[in-house]
């Protein structure tokens, strides 16, 4: 459940903006929660110190359930815990409460693996955690807009219809139309201005739809950032592709896998399994 929630929130944060109306739907809070859920979810998988982990899991589920009850009583229709999934917080609270109750009746064995009996489990946990959480965090911080951009759609200044028919406009021409129609200031990264895409023939609609389309037309992932006087179109990822951190992470994981295979061949699979506590 934790890893599923982390993935859904992480995907939402990496591909769309957030409301930023409350602490629990702010980017910084949700990104921190994703990193924590990845860590605790992987810790559960590796099974070190099961008694303490069991107690922590129950406490965490009770805390999550209590928070979702609060959201439900507050009148919130969706829970931010599953990203773009519009799930009722009351339903999520029920599932979490039942999961916590189930864990109460499913106690772990007393003599579980520890750092002394299974030292390589900690190394495995640390390695996988870094290989997953670092790319995820980079994508959440340097996010690009590929979703609904609800924050743009909800800005009343951007609800005005431009109503222009454009033929091969430049980025600066589109920004000037947005300025005239909304009385807001619109700017763009120099890198994007220098490499203006082919916008083709364009019949413009509402300002927010023009902004979304303009961002999607760029040659690299972008996002609109709110400024004091309007909006700024920025390059989303300094390295060009959001997939690059995951590619590098996969290469490192492959090297670690080859090392473990070599250890198993030289020292025997029994020795390798014993270091992992099996």
Q: What pLDDT, in 10s, does the model give residues 155-211?
A: 888 888 888 888 888 899 999 999 988 989 999 998 888 888 888 888 888 888 889
Question: In which domain, by residue range, is 165 found?
Answer: 150-235
Indicate if 10 and 36 belong to the same structural domain: yes
**In Å, how far are 132, 218, 222, 234 from 189, measured between CA atoms?**
30, 11, 10, 5
Q: Within 13 Å of residue 257, how many CA atoms lie on the same side as its CB?
A: 8
Indicate if 17 and 83 belong to the same structural domain: yes
Indicate if 245 and 114 belong to the same structural domain: yes
Average pLDDT estimate for 226-235? 90
Indicate if 21 and 124 belong to the same structural domain: yes
Q: What is the mean pLDDT of the chain?
A: 87
Indicate if 57 and 110 belong to the same structural domain: yes
Indicate if 83 and 43 belong to the same structural domain: yes
Position with higher pLDDT, 241 vs 211: 211
Yes or no: say if 161 and 187 are a contact pair by the CB < 8 Å rule: no
Lowest mean pLDDT among 104-108, 158-162, 263-267: 263-267
Separation of alpha carbons 204 and 84, rounded Å: 28
In the predicted model, is pLDDT for residue 277 greater than 80? no
Indicate if 205 and 89 belong to the same structural domain: no
In the predicted model, is pLDDT for residue 141 greater than 70? yes
Indicate if 34 and 80 belong to the same structural domain: yes
Model-level pTM? Answer: 0.83
For residue 187, the cross-strand partners are 232
Question: What is the number of domains present in the chain?
Answer: 2
In the predicted model, is pLDDT for residue 147 greater than 70? no
Indicate if 34 and 136 belong to the same structural domain: yes
Average pLDDT estimate for 8-13? 87
Indicate if 30 and 126 belong to the same structural domain: yes
CATH of the domain at 201: 3.55.50
In the predicted model, is pLDDT for residue 148 greater than 70? no
In the predicted model, is pLDDT for residue 62 greater than 70? yes
Average pLDDT estimate for 233-249? 88
Indicate if 108 and 209 belong to the same structural domain: no
């Amino acid at each position: 459940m934790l890893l599923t929630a982390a993935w859904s929130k992480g995907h939402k944060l990496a591909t769309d903006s957030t409301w930023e109306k409350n602490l629990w739907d702010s980017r910084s809070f949700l990104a921190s929660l994703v990193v924590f859920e990845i860590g605790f979810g992987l810790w559960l998988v590796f099974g070190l110190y099961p008694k303490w982990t069991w107690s922590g899991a129950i406490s965490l589920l009770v805390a999550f359930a209590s928070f979702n009850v609060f959201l439900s009583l507050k009148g919130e229709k969706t829970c931010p815990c599953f990203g773009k999934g519009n799930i009722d917080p009351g339903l999520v609270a029920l599932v979490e409460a039942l999961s916590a109750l189930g864990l109460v009746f499913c106690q772990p064995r007393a003599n579980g693996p520890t750092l002394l009996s299974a030292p390589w489990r900690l190394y495995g946990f640390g390695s996988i955690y870094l290989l997953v959480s670092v790319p995820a965090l980079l994508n959440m911080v340097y996010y690009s807009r590929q979703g609904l951009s609800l924050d743009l759609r909800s800005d009343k200044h951007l609800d005005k219809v431009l109503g222009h028919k454009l033929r091969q406009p430049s980025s600066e021409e589109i920004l000037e139309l947005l300025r005239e129609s909304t009385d807001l200031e619109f700017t763009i990264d120099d890198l994007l201005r220098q490499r203006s895409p082919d916008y083709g023939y364009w019949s413009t609609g509402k300002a927010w739809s023009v902004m979304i389309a303009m961002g999607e037309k760029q040659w690299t992932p972008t996002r609109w950032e709110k400024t004091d006087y309007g909006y700024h179109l920025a390059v989303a990822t300094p390295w060009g592709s959001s997939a690059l951190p995951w590619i590098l992470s996969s290469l490192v994981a492959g090297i670690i896998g080859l090392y473990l295979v070599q250890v198993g061949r030289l020292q025997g699979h029994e020795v390798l399994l014993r270091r992992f506590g099996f």
